[in-house]
Each structure stands twice: as C-alpha cells, then as structure tokens.
A = this chain, B = another copy of it.
Amino acid sequence: MADERKTSPSEDRRKRARQNGVVQPLLTDLYQITMAYAYWKSEKINDTAVFDLYFRKNPFQGEFTIFAGLEECLKFLENFHYSDSDIEYLKQTLPQTIEPEFFVFLRQLTADSVILSAIDEGSVAFPRIPLLRLEGPLINVQLLETTLLTLVNYASLMATNAARYRIAAGKHISLLEFGLRRAQGPDGGLSASKYAYVGGFDGTSNVLAGKLYNIPVNGTHAHAYVTSFSDLRELKTKVIVVLAHRTSGVPHDMLDLCTHWREEVASLLSLPASEASDGELAAWISFAIAFPSGFMALVDTYDVRRSGLLNFCAVAMALNDLDYRALGIRIDSGDLAYLSKLARSTFEKVAHQYNIPWFAKLKIVASNDINEDTILSLNEQGHKIDCFGIGTHLVTCERQPALGGVYKMVEINGLPRIKLSQDVMKVTMPGKKTAYRLYGADGHALIDLLMRSVEPAPQVGQRVLCRHPFQESKRAYVIPTRVEPLYKVYWQNGKITCCLPGLQKIREKVQTSLDSLRNDHKRNLNPTPYKVSVSDNLYNFIHELWLQNAPIGELS
C-alpha cells in the first residue's frame, strides 16, 4: 500500500471504494431525510449553509484529542449517492404525502457541490476548534451530518486512547492491539485496529486489519494450544530439519534435545524438572517445529515459575543448538511486575551460564486486562516487560466510550447563526471561521486561535490579541514564532483536492503533532488545559449576536 496518493481521477474512485459497505447515505438518522424534505418543500433548495463539526471536551479527562477519520469521510463523500433500493425504501417509509419529485431530487444528489475543509488527520485537536467545516447547499450539507459524526467520533476517540497508552508506555515499549473479540461489533474491531495503529500502536492481532490496512500483525498461540497436549507421547512429529548452515540437512530429534535441556536448566534454576508439565512441553516442541524461527510461548497455562519458564528455556536452548533464536514469552495472568522480573532474571541466568548474551534479551510480552493506569502502575513498581498486548480497555475506550462530537450550523445564506444555551459550553461559535495554531519561542504550540474567515491571518513576529471566547477579562497578547493555518480544503468540485497521506504518514503525524505539545498538557494526572482562543473580532461578533438573540427576561 503506497504511503502517498495523488489527487484522484474518477477511475481511482473504485480503488478507494474499499470502505466498509455499510458506510452509505442511509447510514444516518431519519430526521436528516425528513428535514431534507421539509427544506425542499420550503423552497430552500438553493440555500447555502456552513456547518462545523467539533467536540466540546477532550476525552479521558485529558487535555488533547487526536483527530482521525478524515479519509473515511472523504471516501463517503466520493461515493455519496442514494441507490434505487434506497429510494424505494424511503418511499415506503416516509409518509405517502411526500411529493414524488423529492425522490427524483434525492436520487440525483451527490456531494459534488459541497466543500469540506479539515484539520490534517492525525493532528492534535482541541475543544471548539472545528475538525471539519462543511459548506454548500443546505440540504446536501445537512444530509452528511450523522455519517460524518459516526466516522469521526470513534476514530478520533480510538486514536486518542491509543496515543495515551503510547505516552504512558513510553517510546521504547512495543504496543499491540488484541481487542477484536471484545470490540463493539465486527467493524468496531476493525476500526479499533486501524486507529490504534494510527495513535501509536505497533501492530494488531486482527488479520483482516493487517490485510486491509497493511498494519503489522502479531500472535502466537492461546492456552487452548497448550491444553490440547497432555503428554510427550502425543507428539507425532518430533524431528526438525534445519536449514541453517552449521547443522544443515540433518534431522534433529527435538524431544531428546528439549528433555535434555529441561534437566540442565532445572538444575541451574534449582527447580525439580518433574514438576514442569509434559503437556506444555509437548505443545511447545510441536510449536517450535512449526515456527523454529518464530518461537514465542504463552507461559502461564500451569505455573509460570515451575513449569512455563522451565519448559520455555528448554525449547529455546534446543532451538539455539540448531542455530534458531527463540523470540520470547507472553504472560497473560498474575502479577506482571513480579513475573516479568522473574522471567528476565531467569533469562539472564541462562544467558550467563551458557554464554549466549541474546538470551538475556528475550522479549517479554504482557497481556492481562491492561489499561493506561496498569501501565503507569507497572512503571512505578518497575518491570521487565518489552511489549504490552492490550484488548478490551483499549478498543472499547472503557474510560469514556464515546467522543461527543457535534455538527452545528453556523451560517446560512451568508448570515451567521448562534445557538444559545443555559450551558455556556453548548453555545456555538457563529459564522464561517478559520483557525491557526500559534507556536512559541521554544517550538511548542502555545495557543489555538479561532478567527472569522474574513480576517487576515496572524503573522510571525507580530503581536496578536487572543481572547477567551466567553470570559471578557481573559486575554493574552501572543507573538508567534510560527503560525500554522489549521485548515486545508480537502474536498471541492466533487474531488479530493489534497494528497492524502497513507496510514503510516498519519501515524507519524500523530507523534510529531504530540511532540509539539508541552508535556504538562499530556500528562495523565491533572494535565494543564491547552488554550483555545478567539480573535478580538470574533469575540465581539459572538457577543453582539448573543445579545441580539437572547431575549430580555421580565421579572415581576
């Protein structure tokens, strides 16, 4: 899969049409279609509108969000049309009084007259700064709402969650996503694998995600594999034929080698070899014969110390005799700090005793019910884990299973719209706007600035007044060393107008974008809020409209 893609001529559309088939215009709320009819019937067919898609609060009690899902939104726009069977279904479902011309109108509708501007996929994003801005005919733009929200909300939530796990684990630990079986539906699992990778995971267990998105896939065996053997006599294949140079072509009896090494290692570790499970050893001998250069074992089926580690070392040493290097172990239960240290010290003993330094560095994977807090707690306790395999908590985003993205009309026919609310968090930012990220002298992002789109962009080295959108006295002058315009037009005239980066590039973008944030915005506990501001012009514009629209109450 190529990392870069040129602007798509129409014959490229089919290639990109590998989107999940359920992403289609009917994947929406019915009220979008009833509203469309009411607009049509009200002769609002030529009305134009601007909608902002944004969220009001960062998830997971954090202070940043990773924006993801943009490419899926663009694919949806590319393929947007109602099929004959869709129209047929709507005719049956909507009231009989609907005029038939409306269905003709709907049948020919596309997203070609819509303009979509967006923040780059993979960027950090903040509350109130729109992720997407949609402009175009009111009806067309309204009809996109639900599907765009569905495509952005979970993708961004998942990428943010993954990025948080990455921050907790640090840059040098591998992170693998193992969540498919607990995900919310088959596509929940597939999206989770994709956006976990975007957010900073190194791979997934999900084979289809590997195939569709070119994500590295990982996996060895389950407890069932171990328990499917109960005895060394069950081994039908005991021989490994080695291809490597030193011993090439000679068949070697793995059973002999492994039982020999089990005695040796048991004596080194002062453990009784007799307590180690023969079923487990049989299982691993067969697994090593199948994957001599990819041997990784799940060591906690019986007893990690007295059986798992001993049997593993026996098989790994036997493989070593044949010039193969085992990969490592996975631990799926128990005290991960203690067991990982035990495993590491065992590997170090064996490495030292037989003078094979790489043995000390065998990979230790941990995978039992891990979440962000477990990782932070393991960091505090000290551990020797090289890789976490993370499932349920990651993919269901248990700590907050939905991002509350909304899609609000901010302008109609060139006139701004504001939605008021008792809750100031819910007041919309009226009018067509643009946004900039202003950077400070140390290279970190200082503040995001939302402006009216008619205003000139802030300039490097020039003082700009940034205001809190609602608190009059909260203001700051900023002299940016760098000004990053946050929006690009991604869709216009029925075409994707920008080069779309591949998944790998989006994944890199997440990390560079996060690097531009100060650490205190990213920490797990009580992070500092990143400032989101409005220009003086936008501030006055909002508050004028607010006063115009808020009725003056009467007390008596």
Residue contact B95 to A208, C-beta cutoff 8 Å = no
Q: Given A34-B291, A97-B293, A227-B419: A153 and B138 within 8 A (CB)?
A: no
Q: Is A150 an interface residue (CB 8 A)?
A: yes
Q: Contact partner of A210 among B24, B30, B402, B419, CB < 8 A? A: B30
Q: Is A269 an interface residue (CB 8 A)?
A: no
Mark contacts of A282-297 with chain B using CB atoms, 8 A cut-off: 1 yes-contact digit, 0 otherwise: 0000110111111000
Q: Contact partner of A398 among B20, B303, B402, CB < 8 A? A: B402
Residue contact B392 to A43, C-beta cutoff 8 Å = no
Q: Which of A110-118, A119-127, A405-413, A504-512 contacts B (4 or more CB under 8 A)?
A: A405-413
Q: Is A207 an interface residue (CB 8 A)?
A: yes
Q: Is A105 an interface residue (CB 8 A)?
A: no
Complex Cα spacing A95 to B236, Å = 22
Using CB atoms, name the residue of chain B closest to A47: B228
Using CB atoms, name the residue of chain B closest to A31: B219
Tell me which residues from 40 to 98 in chain A have a Cβ below 8 Å from any Cβ of chain B.
Answer: 41-44, 47, 49, 51, 85-86, 89-90, 93, 95, 97
Complex Cα spacing A30 to B177, Å = 12
Number of copies: 2
- Most B C-beta atoms less than 10 A away, residue of A22, A220, A334, A419: A22
Using CB atoms, name the residue of chain B closest to A149: B181
Using CB atoms, name the residue of chain B closest to A51: B224
Residue contact B409 to A208, C-beta cutoff 8 Å = no
Separation in Å of the A20 CB from the closest CB of chain B?
A: 6
Q: Is A404 an interface residue (CB 8 A)?
A: yes
Measured between beta carbons, the chain B residues less than 8 angstroms from A409 are: 224, 227-228
Q: Is A299 an interface residue (CB 8 A)?
A: no
Using CB atoms, name the residue of chain B closest to A289: B41
Tell me which residues from 246 to 301 in chain A have a Cβ below 8 Å from any Cβ of chain B.
Answer: 275, 286-287, 289-294, 301
Separation in Å of the A477 CB from the closest CB of chain B?
A: 34
Tell me which residues from 381 to 421 in chain A have a Cβ below 8 Å from any Cβ of chain B.
Answer: 392, 396-398, 401-405, 408-409, 412, 415, 417, 419-421
Q: Is A351 an interface residue (CB 8 A)?
A: no
Q: Which of A187-195, A440-448, A532-540 contacts B (4 or more CB under 8 A)?
A: A187-195
Separation in Å of the A489 CB from the closest CB of chain B?
A: 23
Q: How large is the interface on A (under 10, 10 to 19, 20 to 34, 35 or more residues)?
A: 35 or more
Q: Given A41-B237, A190-B185: A208 and B26 within 8 A (CB)?
A: yes
Q: Given A222-B31, A421-B333, A551-B303: A185 and B182 within 8 A (CB)?
A: no
Measured between beta carbons, the chain B residues less than 8 angstroms from A481 are: none
Using CB atoms, name the residue of chain B closest to A21: B21
Q: Given A221-B34, A235-B42, A289-B42: A20 and B186 within 8 A (CB)?
A: yes
Complex Cα spacing A412 to B234, Å = 12
Q: Is A146 an interface residue (CB 8 A)?
A: yes
Q: Contact partner of A208 among B22, B41, B182, B183, CB < 8 A? A: B22
Separation in Å of the A75 CB from the closest CB of chain B?
A: 12
- Most B C-beta atoms less than 10 A away, residue of A219, A224, A405: A224
Measured between beta carbons, the chain B residues less than 8 angstroms from A27 are: 180, 186, 189-190, 206-208
Q: Is A151 an interface residue (CB 8 A)?
A: yes
Measured between beta carbons, the chain B residues less than 8 angstroms from A30 are: 205-207, 210, 217-219
Residue contact B187 to A22, C-beta cutoff 8 Å = yes
Measured between beta carbons, the chain B residues less than 8 angstroms from A178 are: 29
Q: Is A28 an interface residue (CB 8 A)?
A: yes
Q: Is A6 an interface residue (CB 8 A)?
A: no
Q: Is A35 an interface residue (CB 8 A)?
A: yes
Q: Is A541 an interface residue (CB 8 A)?
A: no
Measured between beta carbons, the chain B residues less than 8 angstroms from A189 are: 27, 150
Tell me which residues from 438 to 466 in chain A have a Cβ below 8 Å from any Cβ of chain B.
Answer: none
Q: Is A474 an interface residue (CB 8 A)?
A: no
15 additional contacts (CB under 8 A) given A42-B286, A150-B180: A32-B222, A34-B221, A34-B294, A42-B237, A97-B291, A142-B224, A146-B180, A149-B181, A150-B186, A154-B188, A182-B402, A184-B192, A185-B192, A333-B421, A392-B402
- Pairs of residues from A and B, 3 with the lowest C-beta to C-beta distance, nearest first: A187-B187, A31-B219, A30-B219
Selected A-B contacts with CB under 8 Å, 5 pairs: A38-B289, A95-B291, A149-B181, A150-B189, A187-B187
Which A residues are within 8 Å of any B CB, using their own CB? 20-24, 26-35, 37-39, 41-44, 47, 49, 51, 85-86, 89-90, 93, 95, 97, 138, 142, 145-147, 149-151, 153-154, 178, 180-192, 205-208, 210-211, 217-225, 227-228, 230, 235-237, 243, 275, 286-287, 289-294, 301-303, 306, 333-334, 392, 396-398, 401-405, 408-409, 412, 415, 417, 419-422, 551
